[in-house]
Structure 1
């Protein structure tokens, strides 16, 4: 689930989806805006494996647990790698 397995394609693994989410966060965005950008980006780059909103939320949970994102004033932002 977090990493690719026999039943989870590499482009659907939560780490992969999380990386794709981080690529969309060039500036703070709402959760909805980030979801729309992610779907748009995946379509433009030919990713055929579906990612549901629930799977997207799980990737956000993983990114939050890893300290990679934070929610500030209802905006999703990348966390600085040096932040404590």
Structure 2
């Protein structure tokens, strides 16, 4: 689920979906719906379909490992160590 396996392709693994989310957020913090739209638009036509619940699981994973945070209603990448 988190990492690809022989039964789960890389484009469906949460770590790869999380990387796509981080790629969208490198420029500026964005709303969840804007990140969703950009991630789904940037996926290749041959990639496995991304459902909204799978997208939210990837966001939850990134939040749990301290990579994402919510600031003023926008998703943002955490930079540096928390103080």
TM-score, with length taken from structure 2: 0.91
Distance 2:74 2:46 in 1: 26
Q: Provide the residue aligned with 1:11 in structure 2.
A: 11
Distance 1:12 1:56 in 2: 10
Aligned-residue CA RMSD (Å): 1.0
Distance 1:63 1:48 in 2: 21
Q: Provide the residue aligned with 1:62 in structure 2.
A: 61
Distance 1:24 1:39 in 2: 11
The number of residues matched between the two structures is 81
Post-superposition shift, 1:83?
2.5
8 Å CA contact 1:11–1:47 kept in 2: the answer is: no
Query: 5+ residue gaps in structure 2?
Result: none
Moved over 2 A (4+): 45-48
Distance 1:4 1:54 in 2: 18
Distance 1:68 1:41 in 2: 21
Q: Provide the residue aligned with 1:21 in structure 2.
A: 21
TM-score, with length taken from structure 1: 0.90
